[in-house]
Amino acid sequence: MLENYFPVLLFIGIALVMGILPLALGKLLGPNRPDEKKLSPYECGFEAFEDARMKFDVRFYLVAILFILFDLEIAFLFPWAIVLKEIGTFGFVSMMIFLAILVVGFIYEWMKGALEWE
């Protein structure tokens, strides 16, 4: 009974060795010259030496929301395109309404200047 699990245990062992060995070799053989800049936190392209509660432009949020919106649009368009023959005219009209709503929102954002970057 236990011999049935041997291939699984062997696979887990090999995976652990292949995962841990490069990390250990890098730690042992790699140069270790930390300085103040290397040890400082870095995040999102902002300077880490300023106040953590600094204000930044709301356009970052708008661009992120637009990216998510149009990314989801593409996620809906691919399956729709695959089954377009099966869903017929109703599916086509439904997607055109969906896209029209998105285009109206995009034009509104464009006219308000949300996409203008200084």
Count of domains for the chain: 1
Instruction: Give me the pLDDT at residue 10, please.
Output: 94
Please measure the distance between the N-terminal and C-terminal CA atoms of the chain and give it in whole angstroms. 69
61 is a domain residue: yes
Contacts of residue 54, Cβ cutoff 8 Å, sequence gap at least 6? 46
Instruction: Give me the pLDDT at residue 105, please.
Output: 84
CATH of the domain at 76: 1.20.58.1610
Instruction: Give me the pLDDT at residue 52, please.
Output: 63
Instruction: Give me the pLDDT at residue 42, please.
Output: 65
Range of the domain at 75: 54-118
Segments of the chain with pLDDT less than 70: 41-52, 54, 56, 118
Q: Look up the pTM and report it.
A: 0.48
